[in-house]
């Protein structure tokens, strides 16, 4: 679930979406938006460490069999990829299942929608350039949205507050990662970078995964859900996204980022009967609005 894949193509296709383009767009939105629901189902029987390990490992296996993911990364660039395997995969993929022990999947998905806002803030810091105009307004609106989404959970006790904090921290790591990954993905393409990151992250997450294996029970629903989060959401979705970017261009494909929290919200309510406060729904609107403004380029 990352916008950095959008940098793999510089296409500027301005034609109307074809039916097949819409099919790709909707499928990726549903896959990435459903990741939070799938994690929640996985937690019904599995320890968070096992979920992380299965999710990363199954995604890595998928990319190993995709021809477009086989490009070799130069030796000089491998240290950056190694760093990304921690901050883009191992750490945030570990934080989400831990957090979702205490907060609903809908809340996790809605908070994840703030990733473009954190990415814009980190980009400003890295470039040593303060945001201005619409970007500054977008950041302020987006942060208000994050507070609105978090407020109901923060009022329900310390554990839910910890869950919110962990999701926000994971989203900050995503925002940092997309800024570091962009040049690598422009050079090598998204899939080779992701394949190497997932392979390394499978190793890093193995100790916690083995620890979680012995603290998990077994349920087919949890296994299928966790494998789906890995095979579809961490593997095939990136290949589908690369196809969409090539067809419609990176800018229009980026709107998937704003659909993910909406999908997570709807699926959490429908399939888990999760209760979502009105203020949190309003927060989603603010986060999406803020992200749209924050991601605009200044003239």
- pLDDT for the residue numbered 266: 93
In the chain, % of residues over pLDDT 90: 53
Distances (CA, A) of 57 to 13, 43, 192, 196, 199: 35, 17, 15, 12, 7
In the chain, % of residues over pLDDT 70: 90
Contact 171, 111 (CB under 8 A): yes
- Position 4 confidence tier, pLDDT thresholds 50, 70, 90: very low
The pLDDT of 58-66, averaged and rounded, is 94
Residue 70 neighbours by CB distance under 10 Å: 12
- Look at residue 15 and tell me whether its pLDDT is greater than 80: no
- pLDDT for the residue numbered 264: 93
Q: What are the structure tokens assigned to 50, written together?
A: 């096992």
Q: What gap in Å lies between CA 137 and CA 84, rounded to an integer?
A: 30
Q: What are the structure tokens assigned to 92, written together?
A: 């945030």
User: pLDDT tens digits, residue range 131-182?
Assistant: 778 878 888 888 899 999 998 887 777 889 999 999 999 999 998 988 888 8
- Look at residue 7 and tell me whether its pLDDT is greater than 60: no
- pLDDT for the residue numbered 294: 74
- Look at residue 1 and tell me whether its pLDDT is greater than 60: no
The pLDDT of 115-143, averaged and rounded, is 83
- pLDDT for the residue numbered 89: 94
Helix spans in the chain (H): 19-42, 48-64, 78-84, 91-99, 105-112, 115-127, 133-154, 158-188, 190-204, 206-213, 220-228, 237-248, 250-253, 256-272, 278-294
Q: What gap in Å lies between CA 172 and CA 169, rounded to an integer?
A: 5
- pLDDT for the residue numbered 116: 84
What does pTM read for this prediction?
0.88
User: pLDDT tens digits, residue range 277-286?
Assistant: 999 999 999 9
């Amino acid at each position: 679930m990352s916008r950095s894949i959008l940098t793999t193509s510089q296409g500027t296709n301005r034609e109307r979406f074809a039916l097949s383009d819409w099919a790709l767009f909707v499928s990726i939105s549903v896959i990435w938006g459903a990741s939070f629901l799938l994690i929640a189902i996985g937690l019904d029987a599995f320890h968070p460490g096992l979920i992380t390990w299965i999710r990363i490992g199954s995604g890595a296996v998928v990319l190993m069999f995709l021809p477009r993911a086989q490009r070799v990364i130069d030796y000089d660039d491998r240290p950056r990829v190694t760093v990304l395997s921690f901050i883009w995969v191992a750490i945030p993929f570990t934080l989400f299942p831990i957090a979702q022990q205490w907060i609903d999947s809908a809340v996790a998905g809605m908070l994840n929608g703030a990733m473009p806002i954190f990415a814009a803030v980190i980009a400003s810091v890295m470039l040593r350039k303060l945001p201005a105009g619409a970007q500054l307004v977008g950041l302020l609106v987006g942060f208000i949205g994050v507070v609105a989404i978090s407020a109901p959970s923060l009022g329900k006790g310390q554990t839910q507050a910890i869950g919110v904090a962990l999701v926000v921290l994971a989203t900050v790591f995503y925002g940092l990662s997309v800024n570091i990954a962009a040049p690598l993905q422009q050079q090598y393409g998204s899939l080779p970078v992701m394949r190497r990151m997932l392979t390394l992250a499978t190793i890093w997450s193995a100790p916690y995964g083995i620890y979680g294996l012995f603290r998990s029970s077994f349920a087919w629903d949890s296994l299928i859900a966790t494998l789906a989060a890995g095979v579809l959401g961490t593997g095939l979705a990136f290949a589908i996204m690369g196809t969409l970017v090539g067809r419609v261009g990176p800018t229009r494909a980026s709107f998937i980022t704003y659909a993910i929290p909406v999908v997570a919200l709807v699926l959490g309510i429908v399939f888990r009967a999760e209760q979502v406060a009105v203020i949190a729904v309003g927060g989603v609107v603010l986060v999406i609005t803020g992200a749209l403004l924050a991601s605009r380029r200044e003239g």
